Amino acid sequence: MTSVEDTSAKPSRLPHQTDEYLAENLGPGVATVCIVLTSISTIFILLRLFTRGKIMAKLHADDWLASLSVLFQWACVAFVILAIKAGNGRHFDTLSIDEREGTIFWTVLALPMGMLAFSIPKLGVAALLTRIMNPTKQHKLAVWGLTSFCASTVVASIILIFAQCTPMRALWDLSVVDKKCIPGSVVVDFLIFSGSVSAFTDLYLALYPATVLFKLQMNIRKKIALSVALGIGSVATVIAIKKCTRLPALAEKDFTYKTSDLVLWVVGEGTTIIVASCIPLLQPLVDLIFGRRALNSSQNNGYSRFPVSRLGWKKRDTELGLGTGKRGERHKGTSVDDLVEVGSQDTILRTLDYVKLADHHHDGKSGQDMSPANRILRTDVVTITYDNKSENGEGDGTMGIKDPETSGNGNSWPKIEAVAL
């Protein structure tokens, strides 16, 4: 009669297993930090959805991608907690066979969820940048090419994790004898490669907006503020590098203890990218709370009905407080300082109804002057021209301002009349 091994029994105590050694458990701390980090991501996503959905009245693809990444984060945290309950965070040689198998199984599920949580937001950031930064065709290809390549390496890593052993259950089922597995060092090396690509992608997505902003004609303090807001993702580069340094421990025998903090860096990278992608988009909410723009509008908070600015930008172009034209409509030869944050006079001018104001100032039928008393009348003559031809034939839509007297085309140039309070 064959005896059945009790897989739930603890292994015999070895000489090096002191009481302190047996009591060491990093699991609870890891679970707590993971929950805190994911909660931070969730808070920022909720604020983002409120800002974009309620205040801006429109959600974009990057908002849904960021939201999806938080769901993957919570799935990762759930699997991490189950892995810790099974034995992750404790020394491998102190665990029973059931605990070892449970730890491996739940960890194998947790890592892919965490990897998706930090790779999907990169695609959202790419969508955001290509929409608001008006990149050239080359930069657009670079942004999407790099983020897509990063996502593909993550997908390949996930496939490799699950396919490293045949049959697959041999990865966590220690009773399987007839199995074929890829050497653990090969899997670790590819994970390090994927992590390096992720780190470089984070760095590129953080630096690219700064290079664009510093070419614009605006106050240096505003350039720095916007660059920092858009460049917080560079912190994810540091986290990704640290994560790569922890990956080799996966191939060690005591991996349940030595790599228990690996998931912290995986979740931390995702949280950093999510928060970095949300902060620049929360300006409308901040303005609403502190009343900066609300006080500048006599009728609304400035976001329920976005006034068209003097250069014609629309609601969707004010997501970062940075006025940018439609794709291919890049401004040229004029300061955009007031497009980021305008003073009281410009704010008033931007919220005025120019047509009504012009009718109020001058009655075209009677020729009678209807200017309000005790106010300063400001008259601007502005002409917007667009150059629709470019090297690629799509038109770069460069915008310039011409003097109506020197243009020589004989057209009647419109007057924009506004009262500055």
Structural domain harbouring 221: 22-288
Tell me, what's the pLDDT at 386? 52
Residue that is last in its domain, among 227, 260, 288: 288
Looking at 223, 253, 288, the residue that finishes a domain is 288
- Are 273 and 306 within one domain? no
If one counts the domains in the chain, the total is 2
* Same-domain status, 328 and 263: no
- Looking at residue 327, what is its pLDDT? 39
**What does the H/E/C string look like for the chain?**
CCCCCCCCCCCCCCCCCCHHHHHCCCHHHHHHHHHHHHHHHHHHHHHHHHHHHHHCCCCCHHHHHHHHHHHHHHHHHHHHHHHHHHCECECHHHCCHHHHHHHHHHHHHHHHHHHHHHHHHHHHHHHHHHHHCCCCHHHHHHHHHHHHHHHHHHHHHHHHHHHCEECHHHHCCCCCCCCEECCHHHHHHHHHHHHHHHHHHHHHHHHHHHHHHCCCCCCHHHHHHHHHHHHCCHHHHHHHHHHHHHHHHHHCCCHHHHCCCHHHHHHHHHHHHHHHHHHHHHHHHHHHHHCCCHHHCCCCCCCCCCCCCCCCCCHHHHCCCCCCCCCCCCECCCCCHHHHCCCHHHHHHHHCCHHHHHHHHECCCCCCECCCCCCEEEEEECCEEEECCCCCCCCCCEEEECCCCCCCCCCCCCEEEEEEC
Structural domain ending residue among the three candidates 288, 308, 333: 288
Check whether residue 153 and residue 237 sit in a common domain. yes
pLDDT at 421: 40
Please give the chain's pLDDT, 421 residues, in tens.
455 566 777 777 787 888 888 889 999 999 999 999 999 999 999 999 999 988 888 888 889 999 999 999 999 999 999 999 999 999 999 999 999 999 999 999 999 999 999 999 999 889 888 887 778 888 899 999 999 999 999 999 999 999 999 999 999 998 888 899 999 889 999 999 999 999 999 999 888 887 877 777 777 877 777 777 767 778 889 999 999 999 998 888 888 998 888 999 999 999 999 998 898 888 888 888 887 554 344 344 444 444 333 333 344 444 555 544 343 344 333 333 333 333 333 433 333 344 444 444 444 444 444 444 444 555 555 556 555 544 444 444 444 444 444 444 444 444 444 443 4
The structure's pTM equals: 0.68
239 and 212, same domain (yes or no): yes
